[in-house]
Amino acid sequence: MNLINSELQGFVTGYHDNMRRKHLVSLVVLIFLTWNILMYYFLVSKNPTKNENRVLVSDKLRWLQNDIEKQLRDNEKLLEDLRQIKDDTVKKEKANKLKTHGVEDTDPATHKIAVLMFSCDRTTVSRSLDSLLKIRPKGDRFPIVVSQDCGHKPTSDVIQTYVKKEKGLVTHIKHPNLTDINLPSPKKKFKGYYKIARHYKWALDQIFHKFNYTAVIIVEDDLEYSPDFFEYFSATYRILKADPTLWCVSAWNDNGKSGMVSDDPELLYRSDFFPGLGWMLEKHVWLELSPKWPDSFWDDWMRHPDQRKNRVCIRPEICRTSTFGKKGVSKGLFYDKHLKFIKLNEKPIDFTKKDLTYLIKENYDPTFHKTVYETPLASVTDVITLRKRSLPALRVQYSSKEEFKSAAKQLKIMEDFKAGVPRVAYHGVVSFMRSGQRIYLAPPEGWTGYDTSWT
C-alpha cells in the first residue's frame, strides 16, 4: 500500500513537473517568437524606412503648421468682420443720434473752413505760420488767409515767402486803409484797439463776401497750435451748425494754466463767456454783427448781452492755442503773470470720431446742473487746506460779486467779469482743477441770470 502511495505520489509529482516544463517551453517559445517579431519589425521594417518615417513626421508637422496658420487667418478674418460690424453699428447709432439732434451726418473731411490770421508788424508771424502749417491736414480744406495791417514791409516779405511756398493754400491780403485815427486825448492811448477793430471788420468782410467762405477760424500772428487744432474745429463745426444756442467755438480756456486743468484732453464745455484766441464763427453770425461792428474793443463788445443774446461758445479744458506775443497793443498786460503759463495740449484727440452731441444744450444742461449741484459744498479754506482731499470734486458757493472775487483771488483763478459774466463761466459756474481736485465755484442752485452791473 505504501509502495502504491509512493508511486502514485511520484507520478503526480512527475506529471506536475512535466506540465511545468511544457509551460516553461511554451513561454520560452512565445518569448522567442515575440522577440523575433519585434526584431523583424525594427530591423526589417523600421531601418529601411527611417528616412521615410522622418519625411512622414515632417509632413505631419507641416500639415499641422498649415492648419494652425489657416485657423489664425480665419480667426483674424472673423475678428475683422466683428470689428466692422461693431464700427457699422456705432456709425449707425451715431448717425441716428446726429439726425435726432439736427446735426448733419457728413464727413468732416468735406468741410472747407478758412483760417484767417491777423498780422501787423511782427516778422515772427513765421513762427505762427510754421506751427499752423505743421499740423494742417493735406489738401485745401483749411485755406489760410493772412490779413496784414500796418504796411510793414519786412513782415510783408516774410508772409510772401509762405505764399510762394504753399502755392495757393496761403493767401496774403493787405488792409488798404492805413490812415491814422484821430482821438481825443483821453482815448489816444487806445488808438491801437481802434485800428484792430477796423482791421477785423475789413478782413472778415473779405472772408465772407469776397472769398465767400461759410465759416472761418480766426487766429493771430502770435499764436502756436496743438497737434489736434484742426481736428477739434472739424468735429465741433457740425455741432455749431446744429445748435442755434451756440455762436462760436474757441480753442481757449482763460483758466487753462498748468495745474488748473485736468489731464484729460477730451473734455469740452459750453461757456457763456466769449474766449477768443483761436475761435470759429459762421457767416450768418458775421452778417448779423458786421453792420453794427464797434470802433474799438470788439471782443468786449461781443460779450455784451445785446450781441451775445444768450448764445454760448464751446471751449476745451486744455487750450488748443498758446500765445508767445508778450509785446503788442496790450503792452504785455497779463502775459508774465498769466498768459505764459497757459498749458497747450500735446495729446492729439480724434474728435471727429467722438460723439459730441452731449454739447448740444438739451443734452448738456441737465447733466451739467446735476453734476454741479450734487457735488458736496465746501469753503475756500477747505479747498486750500485740502481738508476734503478724499472727495473727487467740491463746490464752493458765492452769492455776490465780492464773494466771487474773494474766492477767485484765493483760488488763483481769473477774477474779472465782462458784462457780469466771469471768465469761462456757464450759468454762473466756473469749473477748474486745484491740487488734482475738481472745483466748481458756483452760485446757489436756481441761478436766473447774470447781473451786468458786475463789471
CB 218 within 8 A of CB 116: yes
Report the C-alpha gap between 275 and 252 in whole angstroms. 6
- Show the beta-strand stretches assigned E in 238-303: 246-250, 268-271, 279-282
Report the 10 Å Cβ neighbour count for 224. 19
- Show the beta-strand stretches assigned E in 226-366: 246-250, 268-271, 279-282, 312-316, 321-323
pLDDT digits (tens, 9 = 90+) for 171-193: 999 999 999 999 999 899 999 99
* Residue ranges of domains in the chain, CATH in brackets: 1-100 (no CATH), 109-359 (3.90.550.10), 362-455 (3.10.180.20)
CB 219 within 8 A of CB 115: yes
Whether 144 shows a pLDDT value over 80: the answer reads yes
Write out the H or E segment, with its range, that includes residue 223. strand 223-225
Share of the chain above pLDDT 90, in %: 71
pLDDT digits (tens, 9 = 90+) for 149-173: 999 999 999 999 999 999 889 999 9
Whether 3 shows a pLDDT value over 50: the answer reads no
pLDDT digits (tens, 9 = 90+) for 79-123: 777 777 765 565 555 556 566 777 776 777 778 999 999 999 999
* Residue 45 region by backbone torsions, left for phi larger than 0, else alpha for psi between -120 and 50, else beta: alpha
pLDDT at 59: 72
Average pLDDT over residues 5-27: 45
pLDDT digits (tens, 9 = 90+) for 198-236: 999 999 999 999 999 999 999 999 999 999 999 999 999
Average pLDDT over residues 270-283: 97
C-alpha cell at 132: 499752423
Provide the 8-state DSSP code for 447.
Answer: -
Average pLDDT over residues 300-321: 98
CB 245 within 8 A of CB 285: no
Question: Counting beta carbons within 10 angstroms of the beta carbon of residue 162, is it exposed (0 to 12), middle (13 to 18) or buried (19 or more)?
Answer: buried
Report the 10 Å Cβ neighbour count for 238. 21
pLDDT digits (tens, 9 = 90+) for 314-351: 999 999 999 997 765 554 567 778 888 999 999 999 99
Enzyme catalytic residues: 299
pLDDT at 55: 57
Report the C-alpha gap between 436 and 389 in whole angstroms. 9
Report the C-alpha gap between 280 and 112 in whole angstroms. 13
Residue with grid cell 477793430, as numbered in its chain: 197
pLDDT at 46: 46
C-alpha cell at 193: 484797439
C-alpha cell at 198: 477796423
Residue with grid cell 472739424, as numbered in its chain: 234
pLDDT at 11: 34
Report the C-alpha gap between 144 and 147 in whole angstroms. 10
* CA proximity to 280, closest of 112, 129, 139, 430: 112
pTM, whole model, 2 decimals? 0.78
Report the C-alpha gap between 298 and 80 in whole angstroms. 53
Return the exposure string of 383-422: e unless at least 16 CB atoms fall within 10 Å of the residue's CB, then b.
beeeeeeeeebbbbbbeeeeebbebbeebebbeebbbbbb
Query: What letter represents residue 366's amino acid?
Result: P
Give 440's contacts (C-beta < 8 A, 6+ positions apart): 372, 375, 393, 394, 395, 396, 429, 430, 431
Report the C-alpha gap between 295 and 292 in whole angstroms. 9
Query: How would you write 42-76 as a 3-class SS string?
Result: HHHHHHHHHHHHHHHHHHHHHHHHHHHHHHHHHHH
Provide the 8-state DSSP code for 41.
Answer: I
Residue 445's SS3 state is coil
